[in-house]
């Protein structure tokens, strides 16, 4: 039988011209599920009435580095520890991350202080490796449309943090999340991390309007990454406030014990003191619900 | 004498490679003036510790239209009434505004209810016409680099609201304001109104990071236009909140008694009821200081 | 009578929702005029079967500077001499051009060698000043939607070169030209000069697809500016060839006797020798019809 | 030993601040290899003095569909047949391609008529599957920074066609290619396929300046995809000519026996007759060297 005909018989092709009515049947949509999705991981709740801060270094570099950051974060009340072990780097000659060694450090330190871990995976194969150490899988901006990876995390039972692509439309972002939900995993959170524009004053342009649109059109938690969107320490606090005021469920920020020595993102990670100021002012603003 | 030489003798050309030190000598800069510029117009203060809402229809269409809007706004405590009389329109066959007739209506109605008026001017010649009716001159996005117009309003004693160009960098935006201050008029406020990006879900992309950057680098009041940046009624409130949380001194929004009948921007103006909800939620948010 | 009603009675507002049929009635459209518009100025023809090169310095700096360039150009067979006298500059402290003094130099030198002159005007008032010296009015990218300026040149009998705005859509570009034709002047040529994108390897991004679209949808001559679009000398020749291959009627390029000493655009103007190579290779390519 | 220290000892981190001198040591660079890389596949040469057309349907739908296209192409002198079997689709509910069944059809038909095959792979695992049927691996725009995939094809002995990401800078594009060469495979060709901009008249914006920049800075063949960059049939021919005039080594275009019935890209594939016109005019232009 002709393959085209078999696809047509399955009725799959019809969806390529999905009407508005059909679109509302997307699993990510508010029409499909009206209440907010709240993701629980080891006692931490993401989404709903409280806010979440995800913090930690860009790259995992050593246990000592992680421990310094984690202790400070935990003491401040932060519950989710991030750290990159598999690093997507523009150049093959840049530091590519410590891999599984890094993940082991992440878990060890997180267990010591009692935090939830999140780290980026870049291929389906890394799922099995990372599953032993990581509580939340992060899909990075460059992999937002790595559809096999989306399907693969969709088959796991771990929460997924999906970052918006560098120039992905909100339509494409939502469909990327749909790939995960379509495989049975509905514990997905969306992260706006800045889009590419002509503006050179910031690393990327934080698309603040993405927050209310995603909150209104989907039931998933929405967070803003104020490190990669701005690339400028002095505006991370106001942008974090803006994100919360716009309805975001949380914020991600990079923190490093000694940013100038960092193996990646040296210029835009907060040091311990800068983090304390950031966190104090954010929680004092009245915009952040612990 | 050779003209080039005369310019070189004046030392003007040296500034084309302005160093960082020289840049800090810009009249708009915080280095030049550390305290916030507060613009007072007929008892209304823009900038400083309180916030300002500028509202009104996209185009002035009739006295009745204006009066309906102005009464509602005034009753709500809004003090600045906007309305376009000279309209920059993409097509020469679109409604081009009522011109001086419109400005007369604007002043008449504003005087009745006791509001400050703001309206866009598009050429130096319109300054004399508009000066009789308008308290604040607006320079639109398409004229942000109409340098003769900038110089011309710089020679007046009226406050100027300068909108960011459709794809102007913040560097260009600041220099455009410098053109006005350089002529002696330092009562300039800056408005972020959305930039052009690939995203189609919104009319433009509100560049929220522009707010803290402009607040930190200049002493001028900074406002956000949530109508033209978003083009979507359902996200204007969260974007206004985000603007204030990011440090903006005020918000601009279009309000019309009967948007579907409007001669311009029919889809994105709030009607009276929508305005009431917007205003109530904004002031209840704790982010807006009256 | 209510002003809105009077506008509605005139039927003007209907055009704001111009249907496709109505759009074909635009004066710029191929539907309105099927044959190519050919603009004749002092024996030089722009448009039709032959190509045009417009060349000269970014800014007019002195008679000597202009004469050096003009002699070389004329000898090479170039017939249109450009040079900026009113300069739109980002900063008020940059060189702003020699004004009328510069235009006098431009005309004097052009008359000596027998060339057509083109220079940018930035305000309606400059039309009268420039009319004595300039054969073609240039409207710059920053003024593409300076509607009063468009209307003003539309009332003159001189050809107009209209540059595309920094982030203007082709739709907006075409309507800007329509403003000129609507006033009675149909001798308009369109210039693609690069648009703003995220790419940093070039000053702007030459939108090559603009050329065939504008040629197909309008009857006006279309040219490409390879200086401002690329900002890189080493790719100006291939981009000029690409423009011609895509159907452009001509090319604009900046040439200066001593670029490093230029008062503007020092890095991207060709010197005399670079121009000779550019011109020889372009005419040898078989793509340029003299 | 501390992991950071071990990385630092290896000296790898130094490259993250690669100086210009070091950059010239990239394997893709002209400095590393001055002569053009020419890729030979089954008697077809890509790069060098002759041009290559890659054509075929967006998606492989059936043997009959492929055979119709392939016969026409082969008769016209086209030697490389494209067809998608693994399709990256925005929505999980769109047609996802026939997978290995499709690749079998592709090889069968290509063998019948004597053509080289190219098809996209999306994961490292698909390499083994595809290797039996495909002569050239295509890496799509969405996977340009799927670094594991880049490394994986870098370990094969098949040529790789790498498409530029939707908003990838040329810098990022070159480094993506470097990932492949760094693994030992230097038979890589680069394809400009349009970037994301604000312009709505075209599907994407063909960045023509990418062609001469990539040709000057790398030794790899550079091709332009006129289907995905324009999305408009009526400008594909002028854009293909522009690509060749700018120095491209070849062109890719989608051809389908019955585009309105196509399971993907229905609006932008050429039918048989349109292809004949396109091909005849391109080869008659003098710009295409067979």
D118-172 pLDDT, tens digit per residue, is 999 999 999 999 999 999 999 999 999 999 999 999 999 999 999 999 999 999 9
Concatenate the DSSP letters of all residues of C194-227 into one string.
-B--S--SSSSB-BTTHHHHHHHHBSS-EEEEHH
The verdict on a CB contact (< 8 Å) between B246 and A238 is: yes
The CATH homologous superfamily to which domain D32-284 belongs is Aldolase class I (3.20.20.70)
pLDDT in tens, B98-150: 999 999 999 999 999 999 999 999 999 999 999 999 999 999 999 999 999 99
So what's the pLDDT on residue D4?
43
Inter-residue contact B179 to C92 (CB < 8 Å) = yes
The pLDDT of residue A126 is 95
Q: Which chains have 3 or more CB–CB distances shorter than 8 Å to chain C?
A: A, B, D
**pLDDT for D23:** 63
Residue C197 C-alpha, separation from nearest chain D C-alpha, in angstroms: 6
pLDDT of residue A24: 66
pLDDT in tens, A28-61: 999 999 999 999 999 999 999 999 999 999 999 9
**Geometric angle at alpha carbon B186, from B183 and B189, rounded to 5°:** 120
pLDDT tens-digit series, residues B176-206 = 999 999 999 999 999 999 999 999 999 999 9
How does residue B22 score in pLDDT terms, banded at 50, 70 and 90?
A: low
* Helix, strand counts (H, E) of chain B: 11, 10
Give chain C's mean pLDDT. 93
Using an 8 Å CB-CB cutoff, list residues of chain B that contact chain A.
167, 169-171, 195, 197-202, 205-213, 216, 229-230, 232, 234-235, 238-239, 241-247, 285-287
DSSP for A206-233, please give it.
Answer: -BTTHHHHHHHHB-S-EEEEHHHHH--G
A244 backbone φψ class: left, alpha, beta (φ>0; ψ -120 to 50): alpha
Tokens representing residue A174 in the block: 């939502």
pLDDT at B266: 83
Give the mean model confidence (pLDDT) for residues D26-43: 97
Residue D155: the pLDDT is 98
What gap in Å lies between CA B78 and CA C203, rounded to an integer? 44
Q: What average pLDDT does the segment B255-273 reach?
A: 93
Mean pLDDT of D267-276: 96
Counting other chains too, the contacts that A22-26 makes at CB distance below 8 Å and 24 or more residues apart are A26/A174, A26/A175, A26/A178
Instruction: Identify the residue whose tokens are 């935006």.
Output: B173
C-alpha distances (whole Å) from A194 to each of A87, A254, C124 are 18, 15, 41
Task: State yes or no: pLDDT of A216 exceeds 90.
Answer: yes
Average pLDDT over residues A89-104: 95
Summarize the confidence of residues A108-114 as an average pLDDT.
98
Tell me if D12 and A93 make a contact (CB, 8 A cut-off): yes
Q: How far apart, in whole angstroms, are the C-alpha atoms of residue B262 and residue B69?
A: 13
Q: Out of 3.30.720.110, 3.40.50.1820, 3.20.20.80, 3.20.20.70, which CATH number does the structure's domain B53-282 have?
A: 3.20.20.70
**Please, which residues bridge with residue B117 across strands?**
B81
What's the pLDDT score for residue B9? 40
Long-range contacts of B101-104 (CB under 8 A, 24+ apart): B101/C3, B102/B59, B102/B60, B102/C3, B103/B60, B103/B129, B103/B130, B103/B132, B103/B133, B103/B134, B104/B133
pLDDT at D25 over 90: no
Domain boundaries, chain C: 29-88+95-284
Q: What is the pLDDT of residue B24?
A: 66
Percent of chain A past pLDDT 90, that is, above it, reads 90
Residue A7 has pLDDT above 60, yes or no: no
Strands D222-225 vs D188-192: parallel, antiparallel or unpaired: parallel
> Quick one: C29-88+95-284 is in which CATH superfamily?
Aldolase class I (3.20.20.70)
> Could you report the per-residue pLDDT of B201-253, keeping only the tens digit for each?
999 999 999 999 999 999 999 999 999 999 999 999 999 999 999 999 999 99
User: Span B88-103, mean pLDDT?
Assistant: 95
Q: How confident is the model at residue B265 (pLDDT cuts 50, 70, 90)?
A: confident
Which parts of chain C register pLDDT below 50? Answer: 1-20
CB contacts of A172 in chain D (<8 Å) are: 90
Tokens in use for C230? Answer: 């690329």
Answer whether D166 sits within 8 Å of A171, measured CB to CB: no
Q: Would you list the DSSP string of B56-104?
A: E-SB---HHHHHHHHHHHHHHT--EEE-BSS---SSTTS----THHHHH
Out of B200, B234, B241, name the one closest to residue A245 (CB).
B241
Place domain A35-282 in its CATH homologous superfamily.
Aldolase class I (3.20.20.70)
**Where residue D265 falls among pLDDT bands split at 50, 70, 90?**
confident
Contact B260, B233 (CB under 8 A): no
The dihedral sign for the CA sequence C203, C204, C209, C215: negative
Provide, as residue numbers in chain D, all residues whose Cβ is less than 8 Å from the Cβ of C207.
197, 199, 205-206
CA dist B144 to A20, B207, C93, C145, C270, Å? 39, 17, 17, 11, 30
Nearest-CA distance B238 → chain A (Å): 4
Q: Rounded to the nearest 10 degrees, how much is the dihedral formed by the CA atoms of B37, B39, B40, B44?
A: -110
Buried b / exposed e along B175-204 (16+ C-beta atoms within 10 A): bbbbbbbbbebbbbbbbbbbbbbbbebbbb
**Residue D14: pLDDT above 70?**
no
Q: Which residues of A touch B (CB under 8 A)?
A: 167, 169-171, 195, 197-202, 205-209, 211-213, 216, 229-230, 232, 234-235, 238-239, 241-247, 285-287
Residue-wise pLDDT for B32-79, tens only, equals 999 999 999 999 999 999 999 999 999 999 999 999 999 999 999 999
Closest partner residue to A199 (CB to CB) among B195, B216, B243 is B195
**What is the predicted pLDDT for the residue at D22?**
60
Interface mutation target, options A199, A224, A249, chain B, most CBs of B under 10 Å: A199
Residue A247 has pLDDT above 90, yes or no: yes
Token pair for residue A53? 């801060």
Average pLDDT, chain A: 92
Q: What's the pLDDT score for residue B210? A: 98
Which of C174, C225, C246 should be substituted to probe chain D, the one whose Cβ sees the most D Cβ atoms within 10 Å?
A: C246
pLDDT at D83 over 50: yes
Q: How far away is chain A from the Cα of C199, in angstroms, using its nearest Cα?
A: 8
């Amino acid at each position: 039988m002709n393959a085209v005909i078999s696809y047509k018989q399955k009725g799959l092709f019809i969806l390529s011209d999905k009407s508005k009515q059909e679109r509302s049947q997307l699993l990510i949509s508010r029409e499909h599920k009206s209440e907010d999705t709240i993701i629980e991981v080891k006692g931490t709740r993401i989404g709903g009435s409280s806010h979440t801060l995800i913090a930690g270094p860009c790259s995992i570099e050593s246990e000592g580095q992680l421990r310094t950051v984690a202790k400070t974060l935990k003491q401040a009340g932060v519950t989710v520890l991030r750290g990159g072990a598999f690093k997507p780097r523009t150049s093959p000659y840049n530091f590519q991350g410590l891999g599984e060694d890094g993940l082991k450090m992440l878990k060890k330190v997180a267990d010591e202080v009692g935090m939830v871990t999140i780290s980026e995976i870049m291929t389906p194969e890394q799922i099995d490796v990372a599953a032993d150490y990581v509580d939340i899988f992060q899909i990075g901006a460059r992999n937002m449309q790595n559809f096999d990876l989306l399907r693969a995390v969709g088959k796991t039972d771990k929460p997924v943090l999906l970052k918006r692509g560098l120039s992905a439309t909100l339509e494409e972002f939502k469909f990327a999340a749909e790939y995960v939900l379509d495989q049975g995993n509905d514990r997905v959170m969306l992260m706006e991390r800045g889009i590419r524009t002509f503006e050179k004053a910031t690393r990327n342009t934080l698309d603040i309007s993405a927050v209310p649109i995603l909150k209104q059109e989907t039931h998933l938690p929405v967070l803003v990454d104020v490190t990669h969107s701005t690339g400028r320490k002095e505006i991370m606090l106001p942008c974090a406030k803006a994100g919360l005021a716009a309805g975001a469920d949380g914020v991600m920020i990079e923190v490093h014990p000694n940013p100038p020595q960092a193996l990646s993102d040296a210029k835009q990670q907060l040091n311990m003191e800068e983090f304390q100021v950031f966190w104090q002012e954010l929680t004092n603003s009245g915009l952040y619900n612990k």
